Amino acid sequence: MYLTWTGGPLSGIAQLPASKSEANRALILQALAGGGTLDNLSDANDTQLMQRLLAIAPNATELSAEDAGTVMRFLTAYLSVTNWRGRLTGTARMQERPIAVLVDALQQAGASISYLTNKGYPPLEIGGFTSTKTTGALTELAVRGDISSQYISALLMVGPYLPGGLRLTLTGHVGSRPYINMTVALMQLFGANCVAEGDMLTVQAGTYSPTNYTIESDWSAASYWYSLVAMGPAGSEIMLPRLRRKSLQGDQAIAEIMTHFGVETSFLPNAVHLKQQPLAPQSEIQTLDFTDCPDLAQTVAVVAAALARPVDMTGLESLRIKETDRIAALQTELAKFGGDLREVAAGRFRAESTDFAVDNQTVATYHDHRMAMAFAPLAMRGPLNIEAPTVVRKSYPQFWKELTKSGFVISEAD
């Protein structure tokens, strides 16, 4: 795909997909509750896939989570406690993404799960749920807090259906806590008795109640519009509907992060307005911690390099096991423009640039939707090619259409 910008400031209204983080949690809770209405579900592949698999699971003996991490992890727990029997698989990349922490915990609780190929990785054989625990006693589990929060959320959501409920203790440093808080809040909305006390989460045995809920728009998707406003001509602005000041999504952190890159956020009753502001002089390199919002890292690294405003980035550990090794992918692609992402200390990466220029380079996307959308805003600075642009279907299928509406010219690359 070949992208160019027509010139002049960015303006208008951009439509965002609904949050797939909220949607996929709400879909599991709805299925366990046996009813309720969910509004503003997105057309993102991850959300559509979760809906489809939940619908066909009762009559299927093999399901594929494709490349969707939340689908694989949430379904592993859901299918176990609902006594489903069959195989749960995914793409080749999914079969390289670890799942042992979740499987070990579910096995301790009474789930029958075995590995079909490589120990610790999908595909899985799920064989129902049995427990010899004393009735009424809490199921007590401990998991590391520095692993994917999706494991923790998967366990929490099935907590009411474990023998006696669940007491889950998080050990060590806890990452992506906003996603855990989101899970707890949605569980409570659906009627669960779930209490978080520091690193101990207690879920009483019981059931969920059918509940109506409207999914918020996706703050992760909003981050690309922040990037576009930051890199656009002077006076660039955009309106993003259905975003809330009081959001369950940790990626709302982008609003504060982007003040460093000259984007002002105004919260309106049912939208946010982004407006470019003059960049203040940078006296020192700012450190940004992405432990709680790792999906923003690619967006911020590209903006920092493009605007020659270096930042130090920490909390990137989980990027190695996403759709691709996102750190390696960023390093390779930024280098094509004169950008750099290098480790300056253990766990600390500096995004910066020298003579950054956009002039018909081709960005590889590595089967990763966020690589495509993080680099696309560079077209505000010059013509750009994006390989395999359809990867955006995973989370934001209308992304290219929205760019076209906003003034980009998009054509098939030679």
Which residue among 177, 197, 214 closes a domain?
214
Q: Give how far Cα 328 sits from Cα of 133, 313, 353, 389, Å.
A: 45, 14, 16, 19
Of 127-141, 189-203, 210-224, which range is least confident?
Answer: 127-141
> pLDDT band for position 116 (50/70/90)?
very high
Mean pLDDT, to the nearest integer, of 179-207? 95
Mean pLDDT, to the nearest integer, of 258-266? 97
Closest CA to 81 of 130, 26, 125, 136: 130
> pLDDT band for position 321 (50/70/90)?
confident
**How does pLDDT run across 385-395, given as a tens digit for each residue?**
999 999 999 89
CATH code of 84's domain? 3.65.10.10
Same domain, 371 and 273: yes
What whole-number distance in Å separates Cα of residue 135 and Cα of residue 137? 6
Of 85-94, 275-284, 313-322, which range is least confident?
Answer: 313-322
Q: What is the pLDDT of residue 115?
A: 98
Residue 288 in this model has a pLDDT that exceeds 70: yes
Mean pLDDT, to the nearest integer, of 8-27? 96
Q: What is the pLDDT of residue 147?
A: 81
Same domain, 296 and 395: yes
Mean pLDDT, to the nearest integer, of 291-320? 93
Same domain, 143 and 224: no
Task: Specify the amino acid at residue 259.
Answer: T
Give yes or no for a contact between 75 and 95, defined as CB atoms under 8 angstroms apart. Answer: no
**How does pLDDT run across 68-90, given as a tens digit for each residue?**
999 999 999 999 999 999 999 99
Which residue among 153, 188, 214 closes a domain?
214
Q: Which of 46, 292, 295, 340 is catalytic?
A: 295
Question: Tokens 């809906």 belong to which residue?
Answer: 51
Token digits for 281? Answer: 């002089």
> pLDDT band for position 134 (50/70/90)?
low
**How does pLDDT run across 45-70, given as a tens digit for each residue?**
999 999 999 999 999 999 999 999 99
> pLDDT band for position 122 (50/70/90)?
very high
Q: What is the pLDDT of residue 133?
A: 58
Residue 136 in this model has a pLDDT that exceeds 70: no
Same domain, 259 and 280: yes
Residue 131 in this model has a pLDDT that exceeds 80: no
Same domain, 351 and 403: yes
Enumerate the H helices of 110-218 as residue ranges.
149-157, 177-189
Q: How many CA atoms lie within 13 A of 255 on its CB side?
A: 18
Q: What is the pLDDT of residue 412?
A: 87
Calculate what percentage of the chain has a pLDDT beyond 90: 87
Residue 314 in this model has a pLDDT that exceeds 60: yes
Same domain, 206 and 222: no
Which residue among 153, 183, 214 closes a domain?
214
Same domain, 199 and 242: no
Of 134-143, 224-233, 260-269, 342-351, which range is least confident?
Answer: 134-143
Same domain, 36 and 173: yes
Question: Which carries the bigger pLDDT value, residue 173 or residue 161?
Answer: 161
Q: What is the pLDDT of residue 264?
A: 98
> pLDDT band for position 42 (50/70/90)?
confident
pTM for the model: 0.88
**How does pLDDT run across 393-406, given as a tens digit for each residue?**
989 999 999 999 99
Same domain, 178 and 289: no
Question: Which carries the bigger pLDDT value, residue 321 or residue 378?
Answer: 378
Q: Is 355 a catalytic residue?
A: no
Closest CA to 65 of 122, 127, 17, 147: 122
Same domain, 193 and 284: no
What whole-number distance in Å separates Cα of residue 367 and Cα of residue 90? 14
Calculate what percentage of the chain has a pLDDT beyond 70: 99
> pLDDT band for position 414 (50/70/90)?
low
What whole-number distance in Å separates Cα of residue 276 and Cα of residue 272? 13
Same domain, 319 and 174: no
Mean pLDDT, to the nearest integer, of 225-239? 98
| Number of domains forming the structure of the chain | 2
Rg of the chain over CA atoms, in angstroms?
22
The length of the chain, given as a count of residues:
414
Same domain, 318 and 232: yes
Q: What is the pLDDT of residue 234?
A: 96
Domain that holds residue 254: 2-17+217-411
> How big, in percent rounded to 5, are the helix, strand and coil portions of the chain?
40, 25, 40
